[in-house]
Amino acid sequence: MTDHDPFPLPRVDETNRPYWQALAEGRLVYQCCKACGHAWLPARSECPRCLAAETGWQQASGRARLVSWVTYRKAFHPAFADRLPYNVSVVELEEGPRLISNLVGLADPEDLAIDEPLALVLREEHGVAIPAFRKAG
């Protein structure tokens, strides 16, 4: 990593600010539609199911399951070179929304299974709270 390759931080805007603010307070939240009840991540200004603009936020339990994953053995950004190999996963919260995240604390990065039960872990990266997951149990 050089001075020309700063750590890639999230872009916070009016739509996703409640998500990042909740993480800073130690909570993972997801967006939900006040018209049809659909729930989703990442944040957007309209419901992806019915396009209603009346949306709200709910707190996630932190329980989730593993949908898919890859193990990165090459760093596609210099900021991540010192953590190879690392996991990038699609995780489904028990409330339904899916997010791309990282599994941490893996003794063996290949010892995973579809539907593996997961638990939320909040990590700090360069002053920003980031959601990650570990194997539950």
Instruction: Determine if 58 is a binding residue for Zn ion (CB under 5 A).
Output: no
- Pick one of 5, 24, 46, 49: the residue that binds Zn ion (CB under 5 A): 49
Single out the segment in contact with Zn ion by CB under 5 A; choices: 19-27, 33-41, 100-108, 119-127. 33-41
Q: Identify the residue whose tokens are 């604390």.
A: 105
Q: How many residues does the chain have?
A: 137
Give least dist CB 94 to Zn ion, A.
20
Instruction: Determine if 123 is a binding residue for Zn ion (CB under 5 A).
Output: no
Contacts of 110 (CB under 8 A, 6+ apart): 71
- Pick one of 28, 39, 43, 47: the residue that binds Zn ion (CB under 5 A): 47
Give least dist CB 97 to Zn ion, A.
13
Give least dist CB 46 to Zn ion, A.
8
Instruction: Determine if 35 is a binding residue for Zn ion (CB under 5 A).
Output: yes
CA 57 to CA 82: how far, in whole Å? 35
